[in-house]
Structure 1
Amino acid sequence: MKPKISFQGVSRQFDLGHGEAFLALDRLSLDIADGEFVTVVGPSGCGKSTAMNIAAGLMKPSAGAVLVDGVEVSGPGPERGVIFQQYALFPWLTVQENVEFGLKIAGVERAERKRTADHFIELVGLSRFADALPKMLSGGMKQRCAIARAYAVNPKILLMDEPFGALDALTRVQLQDQLLSTWSRERRTVMFITHDVDEAVYLANRVIVMAAKPGRLHRIIDVGLPYPRNEAIRLSPEFAAIRNSVWHEVYHQHASQTEQKALEEN
């Protein structure tokens, strides 16, 4: 079966000026299946966000290509919804208007826009706040609004770059459960970047561990935990074993980099 997203030897180099360059991503090859939930972890500078930005069409690779349904990505597209850590809501628009915005741009008729927006606002638990401006919402509510807006335009793929990173621990856990509940019903393909190993394991079918300097694929770890996920799974020995395996891969990279830097400085 053809993968939904395919990274094919993707590299990205940044020009630092004065003849210097930084290789942020080095020959990344990775396939993500239709309906799969993949999380991406790794040390700082491993190219996680760079990879996602290339998949979103917000950045071009220096080499290689990303394919969606077998077609090379050449720019942003409606089949890919992007959610960042910063909510990027329009502060002068209500929740309802924010969620309807992409539909309005696409020329969807008003009654259909409202029906679609109402569905996804209810899906993320914000029906009571449909007429509220973003300044009236908590951080978690703003992120739920951003998720509803992304879903409303019916993307086949969700690309999420640390969407819960700025939230408190309790809100983060609640939104993880909300996201999984929504994903279970909608079954869209998700690529989710995070620094949180527990979050990565809890959400994913597979965890992609990246290595840094230059950014490259280090290891893929299957998460053989059943859905729906819940607190019992978080506290299970099986979860702990997978979490420890992912942590080991990420932490020992960081430790090795620290040791290498100390040797270079000496």
Structure 2
Amino acid sequence: MSSTTQQPKIDFQDVTRVYEVNKSEFYAVNGVNLAVADGEFITIVGPSGCGKSTLLNLAAGLDDPSAGQVLVDGLAVKGPGPDRGVIFQQYALFPWLTVRKNVEFGLKVAKVSATERRHRAQEVIELVGLTDFAESLPKTLSGGMKQRCAIARAYAANPNLLLMDEPFGALDALTRVRMQEQLLETWSKQRRTVLFITHDVDESVYLANRVVVMAARPGRIKEVIEVPLPYPRTEETRLSPAFVEIRNRVWHAVYHQE
């Protein structure tokens, strides 16, 4: 999927973010340029301290660049907005609310009518496979179910862009694989542009149209690697020679830092 044939959904233009640490300047990211097409699934992978989460926070409007700009649909990001759904590693669910009420919460804040809230919540609860648990409290759910609830809550607001920061990082290996499959199934049904942060090389390749490999000190894009594997992706995809070749290329780029 090309990111140059039309206006990008999200566009990092020479983005730099500098923090002051012990009276010295620390470049979290420096001179990042990245254009992401509408409907594209981008994963960002790299070592700790390379600025992955910084880029996501800048796109979410949770932080501001020191130089350059981040555009969404051609407009500069100025703080958070309902057009961008953010999903973190920690589920941040309200423990006293059921799955349905958690999913409806953002819609209620936005003053969406009760009828419309329930309709939209039901749609996304079905989409992520939690219909049988709609009236359950978070404490009764597994880690994977909690993250599916968080994804449903983000989808319910109907964002154009999903920003996901290590959403499966706290899950066991088997649940993580199942969540990757569930996410791609959800994405295929309601296509959103996705920016997905991960430390896991296999995960980065399995999910993405393109993998952005970052290097640290300063945080910068080292390489962008195309993943021309067809969707839907399955267990057989992970075992294919093409997948192994791309994974090895990404692995080499991540772990052989300049």
> TM-score, with normalisation over the residues of structure 1?
0.94
2:78 corresponds to? 74
Q: Which amino acid aligns with 1:5?
A: I
Q: Which residue of structure 2 lines up, in the alignment, with residue 127 of structure 1?
A: 131
Aligned counterpart, 2:3: none
* Equivalent residue in structure 2 for 1:94, among 98, 103, 116: 98
Identity of aligned residues (%): 69
Unaligned runs of 5+ in 2: 1-5
- How far, CA to CA, are the matches of 1:9 and 1:106 in structure 2? 34
- 1:104-119 matched pairs, under 5 angstroms: 104-119=108-123
Partner of 1:207: 211
Structure 1 partner of 2:19: 14
Q: 1:65 maps to which residue?
A: 69
Is 1:237 matched with 2:244? no
Q: Which amino acid aligns with 1:83?
A: I
Partner of 1:25: 29
The root-mean-square deviation of aligned C-alpha atoms, in Å, is 0.7
**CA distance in structure 2 between the partners assigned to 1:91 and 1:66 by the alignment:** 34
Deviation at 1:187, TM superposition (A): 1.0
Structure 1 residues not aligned, in runs of 5+: 257-266
Secondary structure of the structure 1 residue equivalent to 2:158: coil
Deviations 1:176-223 (A, max 9, x none): 011001111111000000000000000000000001000001000000
- Secondary structure at the aligned position of 2:159 is classed as coil
- Is the counterpart of residue 53 in structure 1 residue 57 in structure 2? yes
Tell me what 1:259 maps to.
none
Correspondence for 1:167: 171
Q: 1:263 maps to which residue?
A: none
Kindly provide the CA deviation profile for residues 39-63 of structure 1, in whole angstroms up to 9, marking residues without a partner as x: 0001110000000000000001111
Supply the distance in 2 between the matched residues of 1:146 and 1:219 (Cα, whole angstroms).
31
* 1:130-168, Cα deviation, whole Å (9 max, x unpaired): 111111111100000000000000000000000000000
Output one character per residue of 1:50-106: Cα deviation in whole Å (capped at 9) or x when no partner. 000000000011111100000000100000000000001111111000000011111
Paired residue type of 1:80: R
Match of 1:155 in 2: 159
Q: In the comparison of the two structures, how many residue pairs are matched?
A: 253
Q: Show CA shifts across 1:215-263 (max 9, x none).
A: 001000000100000011110000000000000000111xx5xxxxxxx
Q: 1:21 Cα shift?
A: 2.0
Give the corresponding residue for 1:5.
10
Structure (1/2) with the larger helix percentage? 1
- Letter matched to residue 13 of structure 1: V
The corresponding residue for 2:253 is 249
For residue 52 of structure 1, what is the amino acid of its counterpart? L
Name the SS of the counterpart of 2:256 in structure 1. helix
Name which one, 1 or 2, has greater alpha-carbon Rg.
Answer: 1
1:107 Cα deviation (Å)? Answer: 1.0
CA distance in 2, matches of 1:155, 1:224: 26
Moved >6 Å (runs of 4+): none
Q: TM-score, normalised by structure 2?
A: 0.97
Q: Which amino acid aligns with 2:152?
A: A
Letter in 2 for 1:106: A
